[in-house]
Structure 1
């Protein structure tokens, strides 16, 4: 493990907060629908910031730390694309107007950063106290990979999860967004706007993704600083990336399969790491450079295979995938699934 001084932690956290606040100011100073040019510019900007941070880390902390960061960043970035799938579904199901979509996405990013910071701290403490945590993380990733393949053609029920139902039961829900507010008054009574329900749905989704992503990134590095930085830089820029790839997402028909392969690979890597360190050193461990090569290779094959499949079968559309079967029938006032995927 590399030694990260406190000033480096402080500087990195300050940089991430600064970038997020900057992104927030760009988005909320003038609510508007984001065009392709604007989305491309900011996507390139945040990818460049992530790569620059990795190069600085490589130069100051060594090639091993740099390789671990880039491997973790690629894993988290690929998982964040799957997260964008669900964001698209939520925005479509709740019919969020384009001018409010940036606010929703920024809330999702802020909630994801907060939740993952908590899970990173808990995961690092668990690994430090119990090396068997590697096995638990590995088994969790193998289970997630199997469920993701099994339910790859389904979509999560974002309008009827427990938190959304509870929110609906506390106060009456308006049909109007009331200028982007979360609470408003109608006929003299306090009501909840659909935007609050969207925030609840986004937050609960972020929680589920954090439970998957943190064990995955711990599979490529055990250094909490690198885990945190990789997660943060993967999440920054999701707002712009959403508008850039929104149309492309439905073409990635094999994304769930590709992600399941990556999660299964990292799960096996974690279990082998435990066996190598605590049972027998004769059992090989998978080096980080090989992990990075496998992850990039799987993503490349997934993207190419998806585009070839859609070209041969234009009617096919990708779905987000879910970890459990959707049991509820769509509500009558919902738009058909084809409208969001």
Structure 2
């Protein structure tokens, strides 16, 4: 029975992380196209991105697990945050992020020596004895920061399912590694899932509400898994139907 419960927790956490990571693929596509990064160099960025994501998420999950263990009421803050994030995502689903206004990118351009132009797969180059960073390094920074932003949504959502840091970490890592491996396949069909954001917004709102009502009603993990799967499946199906009918 314990094994079955842990399996359900892992599967639900994996599904939440996987679906949110699919949304992250849209952001990666936007970043790569904005910087005109060739597919062969995208692979290098994604490999370093995965390594960075594993380290950053491990730190965030360990910190989150400690905070939840020491201050159980933090789960209600997580819940309120997820409800607000979900509702905000519903309202702003059609709005694309403006990369040039990204504070991390603006900070990097202001404080780092950047060598404009293409330099292959290099993240830095030497010019007249001085080291310059390449635009590909800026792409890597944006990929990592976007992953942190998505982790801020997904990690509290999985803590709503389980507070076991091992399950939170493994469901996270398996999902992002699987998605990065499928990145180029997903990149080709990303436009077909343009309504997925609405499904994700409803998932975050549901998970947040689940955390907030926990003192009065405990939603079983199996029920959470079914609801998350239905919301994601419905948004994917609606996207495919709309694409087939030529509605975008």
Q: Which TM-score band applies after superposition, normalised by the shorter structure?
A: over 0.9
Aligned residue in 2 for 1:303: 236
Structure 2 residue 163 is the aligned partner of structure 1 residue 230: no
Structure 2 vs 1, CA of residues 172 and 126 (structure 1 numbering), >3 Å: closer, same or farther? closer
Which gives a bigger RCO, structure 1 or 2 (Cα 8 Å, sep 6+)?
Answer: 2
- SS in structure 2 of the partner of residue 250 of structure 1: helix
CA positional deviation for 1:224: 1.0
Residues 301 and 69 (structure 1), Cα distance of their counterparts in 2 relative to 1, 3 Å cut: same
- Structure 2, unaligned stretches of length 5 or more? none
Q: Deviations over 1:248-298 (max 9, x none)?
A: 11111211110011011111111122x1xxxxxxx2210000000111111
1:209 aligned to which of 130, 142, 150: 150
Q: Please say if residues 58 and 169 of structure 2, whose CA atoms lie closer than 8 Å, have aligned partners that are also in contact.
A: yes
Whole-angstrom CA distance in 2 between matches of 1:136 and 1:114: 25
| 1:247 and 2:180 correspond | no
Task: Quote the Cα distance in structure 2 between the aligned partners of 1:152 and 1:303.
Answer: 15
Contact 2:18/2:179 (8 A) holds in 1: no
Tell me the distance in 2 between the aligned counterparts of 1:136 and 1:104: 34
Q: Displacement of 1:163 after TM fit?
A: 1.8
The 3-state SS of whatever aligns with 1:251 is: helix
Deviations 1:195-226 (A, max 9, x none): 11101111211121111111011111121111
In structure 2, the residue matched to 1:221 is: 162
1:284 counterpart residue number = 217
Q: What is the rounded CA distance, in whole Å, between the counterparts of 2:156 and 2:14 in structure 1?
A: 13
Cross-structure match for 2:28:
87
Matched, 1:108 2:10: no
* 1:113 Cα deviation after fit: 1.6
Matched, 1:121 2:62: yes
Q: Which has the higher helix share?
A: 2
Distance 1:272 1:179 in 2: 52
Distance in 2 between the 1:225 and 1:152 partners?
Answer: 32
Query: 1:186 deviation in Å?
Result: 4.1
Deviations 1:159-181 (A, max 9, x none): 44122112212344333332311
After superposition, the C-alpha distances for 1:65-114 in whole angstroms (9 at most, x for unaligned) are: 11111111011000110111111111111111111101111222222222
Query: Could you say which residue in structure 2 is the equivalent of 1:268?
Result: 209
Q: Give secondary structure in 2 for the equivalent of 1:180.
A: coil
Q: Report the equivalent of 2:92.
A: 151
Q: Distance in 2 between matches of 1:107 and 1:154?
A: 28
CA distance, structure 2, for counterparts of residue 221 and residue 188 of structure 1: 52
Provide the C-alpha distance between the structure 2 equivalents of 1:226 and 1:240, rounded to a whole number of angstroms: 21
